[in-house]
Amino acid sequence: GAVVSQHPSWVICKSGTSVKIECRSLDFQATTMFWYRQFPKQSLMLMATSNEGSKATYEQGVEKDKFLINHASLTLSTLTVTSAHPEDSSFYICSARLRPSSDEQYFGPGTRLTVT
Amino acid sequence: AQSVTQLGSHVSVSEGALVLLRCNYSSSVPPYLFWYVQYPNQGLQLLLKYTTGATLVKGINGFEAEFKKSETSFHLTKPSAHMSDAAEYFCAVTTQSSGDKLTFGTGTRLAVRP
Measured between CB atoms, does A2 come within 8 Å of chain B?
Answer: no
pLDDT in tens, A25-74: 998 888 889 999 988 778 889 999 998 888 899 999 999 999 999 988 88
pLDDT in tens, B6-46: 999 999 999 999 999 999 999 989 999 999 999 887 788 99
Q: What was the pLDDT predicted at A54? A: 85
Q: Residue A13: how many CA atoms within 13 Å on its side-chain side?
A: 24
pLDDT in tens, A68-93: 999 888 899 999 999 999 999 999 99
Measured between CB atoms, does A26 come within 8 Å of chain B?
Answer: no
Asked whether the predicted pLDDT for residue B112 surpasses 70, the reply is yes
Q: Which residue of B has its CA nearest to A4?
A: B43
* Cβ count near B107 (within 10 Å): 22
A108/B43 Cβ within 8 A: yes
